[in-house]
Amino acid sequence: MSGTKNGRRPRSVALVGPYSSGKSTLFDALMEAAGASPKRPADPRNRPMTTEIRLGHCEYLGDAWSILDCPGSIEFAHETDAALAMVDIAVVVCEPVPSRALTVAPLLKKLADEGVPHMVFINKIDTLEGSVSDTLAALQSYARSPLVLRQVPIIEGNKVSGYVDLMSERAYRYRKGQPSELMQIPASMLAEEQEALGKLVEVLADHDDALLEKVLEDMKPTPEELYRDMRKDLLAGDAIEVLIGSAENLNGVQRLWKALRHDTPEAAETADRKGIHTDGPPLAQVFKTAYAGHTGKLSYARVWRGEIKDGATLNATRLGGIYHMNNGADLTKVPDASAGDVVALGRLDGVVTGAAVSTNGSAEALSFPPSPPPVYSMAVHTTDRKDDVKLFGALQKLTEEDGTLTVTHDPDTGEMVLRGQGEMHLLTTVEHMAKSFGLKLRTDKPQVAYKETIRAAVHEHGRLKRQTGGHGQFADVKIDIAPRPRGAGFEFIDKVVGGSVPRNFIPAVGEAAEEAAKKGPFGYPVVDISVTLVDGGFHSVDSSDMAFKTATHIAMKDGLAKADPVLLEPVDHVTISVPNEFTARAQRLLTGRRGQILGFAERDGWPGWDDVQALVPEAEMHDLIIELRSQTLGLGTYRQRFDHLAESRGGELRRGAA
């Protein structure tokens, strides 16, 4: 079979789920159960938030596995999207709390949309507050396919002490830190176990006529038939198997491993699902880029086809090493990688995240998740101007590592602005720059690019007459300054007649008028005005371009101050997306930020979600995502685009202060 080398059958699994569901603890538990020694934090309860994919390699019962521990925070969701585009199967990790099922909804939708086979692992079963059936029912309301419970918890007193495996009809008692031990099914659970088994068989029989016939004839299917149908339905997206356990106590981890080993598609099956031909030259795809100290640039990649050896030339670049992470952290060099492997490739300069690489000099284009639009901004400044060049280099590397990070230089404010997926995302970026590049940075809320305009037309006279010995300076201009429609921009008109201003000086007047409009009475650029030169005067010796520019600046400064100036603020068109139970909350949030609600409707392709549209001043947008997420279980997001400039209600105050 393609991808099989020495019986290894390399396959990959992504652990996904909401923040705090215990994915990283499950990663450690799976690695430990496979005989690897993961790097654990000193106190698992104080484990830092996962902000990027953690890759681990191990072998379980002779098969090679790559495990990708994905971030749970929405701010790092693109890392998860990238992982899901590479793996054979995903395990959705969640807590046994029905009220938190909604936090899993976007993941279940994404997995169904992308056709990624997936199972659910209800973690922290030892903390069960309600019932597994209630959690299952809550999850089912957001899942497109039937959830099939494979294990029923055994509850003794007020705690879960083990489980009944429905397919094998065996019971197991949990032992903390050890594999579970076989036990008799409690007599009190026989009826519950048979009812749960009946539901499982009923779901599988929906897609197997032979099994359905057995059910109708009241014949009991064999475990082998159930195992076969479960795998078939899982791969087809017709069922989602659900397992339970406690990763912290190593409970249910061996059972999860066995389910993964039996039900995870082969690498060739995944390639076929994604439309990647398994015949042809070696092919891999980069899904993450990182810079790792002395190792340099690392490109995390899935090998889709063939075998890649260390030192091979990929897309005209010589490969500088192939690495495994046997404990989820430290790099171990390996001689080659074959189809199905997920590895880190060294020093692939010029190869970007999402790119496909091949030994034949060029590779076919493969699909890759697009980066989401930014929702939070932060201005960054070096504390030492000598570090500006170093900052530029660091940002180049960081934007290569992280496709959701963008950097712009705002021409209106002069600030270097980072844009990303949230406050934690950008603070993590700044900390990374300090640690990895030795940069001391100051961060600020980005300035708003206010503009000014005028509401009245004025006639103004500017005159320069200066005698300093020898040639003097003389220029006289008379201009009309008038407002234009919003968005019409700046306009200069020449209406001089009779030669009062010589033709060769008129361009200088136009240039000076436009220059003067760059800073109005409030200190911001003035837009949407016309300046008309109507008359003036000159001296045959003392007049010059510079003299006429100076006179024009005088006229513009005085005239703009008299023309009823007003401050303009940028207004964005904002579309907030939230589960519909939070729609009213989102509307209140927008109106509390001077937003004008335009309406709301069901989000296209998202049953149970709404899109709320509004016009919101940009000055109110800075921390909108923080408050929105805090009020929507972290699920709310938004898209924005500049819409128009509007007179600011704060403009009169600013004007009065001026």
pLDDT in tens, 147-188: 999 999 999 888 899 999 999 999 999 998 888 999 999 999
Token digits for 192?
């519950």
**pLDDT tens by residue, 186-223:** 999 999 999 999 999 999 999 999 999 988 888 889 99
Residue 485 one-letter amino acid? P
Contacts 24+ apart (CB under 8 A), 581-585: 582/631, 582/632, 582/635, 582/636, 583/610, 583/612, 585/631, 585/632
339: left (phi over 0), alpha (psi -120 to 50) or beta: beta
Q: Is 8 helix (H, G, I), strand (E, B) or coil?
A: coil
Mean pLDDT of 273-292: 93
Question: Whole-model pTM?
Answer: 0.90
Q: How far is CA 69 from the centre of its chain?
A: 16
| C-alpha torsion sign, points 639, 642, 648, 654 | positive
Report the pLDDT value the prediction gives residue 511, as an integer from 0 to 100.
98
Collapsing DSSP to helix, strand or coil, 602 comes out as strand
Between CA 574 and CA 30, with CA 634 as vertex, the angle to 5 degrees is 140
Tokens representing 49? 């938030």
Residue 42: the pLDDT is 62
240-244 and 147-149 strand pairing? parallel
Q: What pLDDT does residue 650 have?
A: 53
Model confidence pLDDT, tens digit, residues 522-544: 999 999 999 999 999 999 999 99
CB-based contact 139:94 (threshold 8 Å): yes
* Total count of residues recorded for the chain: 658
CA angle 386, 392, 394 (to 5 degrees): 105
In the predicted structure, residue 653 carries a pLDDT above the cut 80: no
Residue 180: what are its φ and ψ, rounded to 5°? -70, 155
Percent of the chain with pLDDT over 90: 83
Pairing of strands 89-94, 118-122: parallel
The per-residue pLDDT for range 385-425, each reduced to its tens digit, is 889 999 999 999 999 999 999 999 998 889 999 999 999 99
| pLDDT recorded at residue 648 | 87
Domains of the chain with CATH codes: 11-272 (3.40.50.300), 376-444 (3.30.70.870), 452-563 (3.30.230.10), 568-655 (3.30.70.240)
- Residues whose CB falls within 8 Å of the CB of residue 332, separated by 6 or more in sequence, listed in order: 323, 324, 325, 326
In the beta sheet, which residues pair with residue 579? Answer: 609
- With CA atoms as reference, report the closest residue to 531 among 546, 517, 551, 549: 517
Distance CA 591, CA 130 (A): 38
- Which own/partner contact pairs does 544-547 have at CB distance under 8 Å and 24+ positions apart? 544/473, 544/475, 544/505, 545/505, 545/508, 546/473, 546/508, 547/464, 547/473, 547/474, 547/475
Distance CA 246, CA 251 (A): 5
pLDDT for the residue 38: 72
Q: Going by C-beta distance under 8 Å and a sequence separation of 6 or more, which residues neighbour residue 596?
A: 614, 615, 616
Lowest-confidence segment of 33-37, 38-42, 469-473, 495-499 by average pLDDT: 38-42
Please say if the pLDDT value at position 658 is more than 60. Answer: no
Structure confidence at residue 46 (pLDDT): 64
Overall average pLDDT of the 26-50 stretch? 80
At 427, is the pLDDT very low, low, confident or very high (cuts 50, 70, 90)?
Answer: very high
